[in-house]
Amino acid sequence: VTYTPSRAHLALGVGVEFDAIRAMLRVWGAQASGIGDDAALLALPKGETLVVSTDATFEHVHFRRGWISPREIGARATAAALSDLAAMAATPAGLLLALGVPPDWRAELDELAHGVGEMAVASACPIIGGNVTRAAELSLTITVLGTAVRPLERTGARAGHSLYVTGTLGGAGAALDALLRGVVPRDADRARFAAPQPRLAEARWLAEHGARAAIDISDGLVADAGHLAAASGVGVALDLSALPCADGVTPESAASSGEEYELLVAVAADEPIDVEAFRARFGIPLTRVGRVTTGRGVSLEGRDDRVDLPSGHDHLS
């Protein structure tokens, strides 16, 4: 990506707002680039399409204080935003962080910034701008920009395609259930909730190996399979018995667990994917979980017929 490398920051003025920005810039070091003007500048590779998404993480909606550390909150919010670029098989080019900060979170700004910075470094994504304002509850609204020669869209699924999912499912949901009950989640489940990874390199590999459509399953597998089906004008048949479930998680729970940040991809049937090569390369499984049909909506196979469709996450109701 040809973003201007390590563009110098502008000298910032005085005041609490700029002090907060300066503190974050100290944390981010060379990962932040060209901060301080009214807007950020980005030179994009010729011939590539700009891919852009904005994603918000709000206290009380996406997490509660004490469930995960401020550093995890920063990294998780950044991963969630970058996951939308992964779903398009895009390469990150830059991110902007808009923070809403209540007074009693002010002391955590450094740790929040550390979390954002760690995920930005891990994803090779420069931090190019943002906004800080006080607010009643903590929020991180992160805009991610990326580029792709041929973005992977939700609309590309066709009847006959095979459906694959990355990683294992249900851990994040199990952790969330435990946290909501006031129980300490198992370590593996907690990590799935607290430290999701955007599947950026995985998505680009999949796009190069026959994937025709993708969606991230942050709303849960069944809900997002429904979105993929609606966008492509097709049906989706999921095989619950095939789901790669986290230890101790039922397929029904794995199918409805939100906040997963794995990818569901539709692959042309004449290009069978080498799932072993995928696992060897990325250290996570790639599992065939169903197929695209000529119908509409999502149907479930492999269990008895009375299985209800889990509804997935909704961040407004």
- Phi and psi at 81, nearest 5°, equal -70, -45
Q: Does 311 bind a copy of itself (CB under 8 A)?
A: yes
- Which residues, 76 to 105, sit near a copy of itself by CB under 8 A? 83-85, 87-88, 90, 94, 96-98, 100-101
184 binds a copy of itself (CB under 8 A): no
The reply to whether 44 sits near a copy of itself by the rule CB under 8 A is: yes
Residue 268 found at the interface with a copy of itself (CB under 8 A): no
> Taking CB under 8 A as the rule, does residue 52 contact a copy of itself?
yes
Q: Is residue 37 within the footprint of a copy of itself (CB under 8 A)?
A: yes
Nearest to 80 by CA among 56, 114, 100: 56
Report the site for a copy of itself in 5-34 (rule: CB under 8 A): 10-17, 20
Question: Which of residues 119, 163, 176, 223 is near a copy of itself by CB under 8 A?
Answer: 223
Cβ neighbors of 280 (< 8 A, separation 6 or more) are none
Residues 6+ apart with CB under 8 A from 11: 36
In the window 130-149, what residues touch a copy of itself (CB under 8 A)?
130-137, 139, 141, 143-146
**4: which residues sit within 8 A by CB, 6+ positions away?**
33, 34, 41, 42, 43
Smallest distance from a copy of itself to CB 276, Å: 27
Identify the bridge partners of residue 299 per DSSP, sorted by sequence position. 237
Least Cβ distance, residue 248 to a copy of itself (angstroms): 28
Q: Is 61 in the site for a copy of itself (CB under 8 A)?
A: yes
Question: Helices 70-86 and 200-208: crossing angle, nearest 10°?
Answer: 10
d(CA 63, CA 47): 39
Whole-angstrom distance, CA of residue 195 vs CA of residue 172: 10
- 128 part of the interface to a copy of itself, by CB under 8 A: yes
Burial class (CB in 10 A: 0-12, 13-18, 19+), 299: middle
- From candidates 155, 188, 269, 301, binder to a copy of itself by CB under 8 A: 155
235 is a contact residue toward a copy of itself (CB under 8 A) = no
